[in-house]
Structure 1
């Protein structure tokens, strides 16, 4: 196996099972597999009760999914979508994965990789389904809780004996609520343990696990298991976390992105320059991680463009965050020479991914466009400067 194929296989393998939420877990798997194998569209379906879409990424395309489970003689099915695209279907025990590739991409390594990950994918999906079942039971217990609380009020007014009986019933219901809290509180450490253990196993199988990595990962697993143990006594006072949107500081989100890319930028001798940073904290309402993903995508594309640039001057990326009226303007500029005007209006198109890799564009920019425009109700566009390309993001601020 080539080094590049080994890297792709490791990244795809590591994306499996990092969450006990089925949608989040499959979104990470589909997104990683698409980025690493240059798919232009990816989707996953649940097969436990008919065919139910879990997640899809990329431009929506029309294909008949209803009769596919009956067509499989093997786990893999390949169909031609049109003259330049192929659809790859991969059937699991309880799920179906769909990817669309350019016809020029060799699918042999990709198919072999999918088959090698079959067992882990099945286990990860089964774990998510078990959590979903637990959450359903918790929901039913919550309904029962509300009903019983009303009954408690009535029984207290009748007599003390019934009050004692209702008190016993409430203990059972509180236990049900406790189970629901455990399911949420333990997701992150359990995912971390699963990731570390699977990573150690993969490295061991490839004979690349050294003593330092073994002890570091083992200590992390021990730390997470100790955390699980320590939180048992705190569950009754635990406030259930919400997956809803919350207010975040844009400057902090961007600083986090800079920290993530700093090492890779240093390897390529790329300087990061802050032109202007608004001193006033700028708040925006969104799900944590979405804006960070946009920043990382643009910064990664700038790095790729500079890496492939023949410009011999000092390579740099400049950024600024400014407030104007009720909006914030975020700019990220590089000195890689700019984007060809003939293709500049196509860089947010997912079909552009496999044909212009040297431009540093692809599915990441398409996802960034989707997040900024469709989820954050802002704008994102690119313009050429005398130095290179400048991405501009406009976002509405919280009043």
Structure 2
């Protein structure tokens, strides 16, 4: 092998395989090969399928050939060398999964050029395979990621709908008593009016009762609307109010299961935070309901309770929610925030509630969400960074 051929081969070999991106890799090779062999232009086409031949990289003069015609001829040939016009020759060279096409002036030494291509063929094909495998792997990862995100989105929607159903039930319980009071007050006024014994004091008392309970009903509608609305608008809230709202929305349904919601301690100083309303309620309701479901299964427990607290520390706002259901099995305690993990029957649990809550607190708020077993049961800890505005 001559020193010239050795030098050209060495430079071209070093230009192959420096990237796993097919376009970048072939552009670097073409640039070097064109320079070292005196080509006018160079192109690389990859066979994506039997019907699709795609130009991946092209440098130099605009194409003066029909790629479909060349591709068909290369099915039976490895090399095509022919005149494009009186001064230019086309050299097409078949490689695995594609072809290289160069334009040269007719004076070039084509035996020399084709011998260089022959020496490079194996490495070119190996690196084309590597790049295509990486492309396929990326496509598979992207497709799998899309599928997982879609499944997760559907599960989140199921969770939201499930929680909405529970909240509607809670609101129905909350509304029953005030509606009865309004109905009683209205009937009382009507009867006294018909008997002509309705006094001004009676009227004031009845209307006051109706207005107070109507206001309460309106408030529960606002709570429900804030929870279900899909909005990214921020609002500065008081954390105590969010916690109170969650407990009030759940208290009626918990009462039906003979579960007492106990306020252990709540910081008097108002703790302000900038949030989108719905998701914080989602986290709190998820944890409260998780405790409720654990307690419902304890038929032998005489007094069932859930205690919550809200404290301010030097650097955090700390919310705790504890139950007396006996705690979580130590073998699975570290798995409860994993996606799709559930201790419930498949018909009752998706395993996405606590995973979603963890994502909101940890990934979006830069906070902490963890669980400890106490002498009574499970105790969840929510820690949010103090004096920093985040979007939940």
Q: Same fold (TM over 0.5)?
A: no
Whose radius of gyration is greater, 1 or 2? 2
Shorter-normalised TM range = 0.3 to 0.5
Q: Which has the higher contact order (CA 8 A, sep 6+)?
A: 1
Q: TM-score, normalised to structure 2's length?
A: 0.40
Q: TM-score, normalised to structure 1's length?
A: 0.40
